[in-house]
Structures are given as C-alpha cells and as structure tokens.
C-alpha cells in the first residue's frame, strides 16, 4: 500500500457542491494531493473533471482532478443529509498539475474556516474519459 505524500484534513462540517452541474456531493476530506467525495454519481475511474472550490473570500479556484477510486459507500443519514437516499459512491480523486496559485489556494482553503458551508462544483466541461 502506498503511503500518502501530504496531510489529509477531515472536513469538520458538511461541504456541499455539484457534480456535472446536477448531482450533489459531500466532501469527506481534502489534501493538497486530492479530495474524497460522496455522491449519488459514479464517475469512471481514470476520467478527469474540472472542479471549482470557493474560498473564504468568495474567490473561486479551478482544478483538474483525475478519479482514482469510485466505490459504493454506506448511507449515513446524519452525515449525508443533503444527498438523496439511495446508492452512494465514495469517490477518490487526485489534483492534476497544480500551479503555485492553486497550491496556495488549497493551503488557505484547508485552514480554520468560519461557520458556513464550503462549496464546490465539478463541471462537465473538459471531461476526458478514462482508458
């Protein structure tokens, strides 16, 4: 098993967003290497998507992510209340080719945050299917 290269930060409160502009997700944790999401959507492993995260100052930063894991996740009504009941998928993705500005944004994004939801959006634009 490969050891993680960077520290992982659990999301202390629900972080919501949209996959493919229509399907919601909740982020479980994030690091400078990648992000773990739970959603009703099952992307193809190896596919790439564009993700947008919104920072404390309402600044939006885009990233390209590559899906490296998508498996069935158990439903936890308390933790995933914003998602519809049904089949859920735990989605692991790594950030691809981050610039210094993106790294700085992630570092700021993972610091202590004021109350309120963190949001993100995964877009269908620029989707590259897996091999």
pLDDT (tens digit, 9 = 90+) per residue, 95-127? 998 899 888 888 877 775 544 444 455 554 555
Query: Is residue 131 within 8 Å of residue 28, measured between CB atoms?
Result: no
pTM above 0.85, yes or no: no
| Paired tokens of 120 | 């993100």
- Measured in whole angstroms, the distance separating CA 53 from the mean position of its chain's CA atoms is 9
What is the structure's pLDDT at 17?
59
What residue ranges do the domains of the chain occupy?
8-128
β-bridge mates for residue 61, sequence order:
53
Superfamily grouping for domain 8-128: predicted glycosyltransferase like domains (2.40.10.220)
């Amino acid at each position: 098993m490969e050891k993680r290269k960077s520290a992982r930060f659990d999301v202390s409160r629900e972080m919501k967003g949209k996959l493919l502009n229509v399907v919601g997700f909740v982020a479980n944790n994030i690091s400078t290497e990648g992000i773990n999401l739970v959603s009703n959507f099952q992307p193809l492993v190896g596919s790439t998507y564009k993700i947008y995260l919104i920072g404390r100052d309402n600044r939006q930063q885009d990233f390209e992510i590559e899906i490296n894991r998508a498996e069935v996740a158990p439903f936890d009504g308390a933790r995933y209340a914003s998602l519809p009941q049904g089949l859920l998928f735990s989605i692991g993705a790594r950030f691809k080719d981050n610039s210094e500005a993106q790294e700085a944004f992630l570092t700021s994004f993972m610091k202590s945050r004021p109350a309120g939801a963190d949001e993100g959006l995964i877009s269908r634009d620029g989707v590259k299917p897996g091999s």
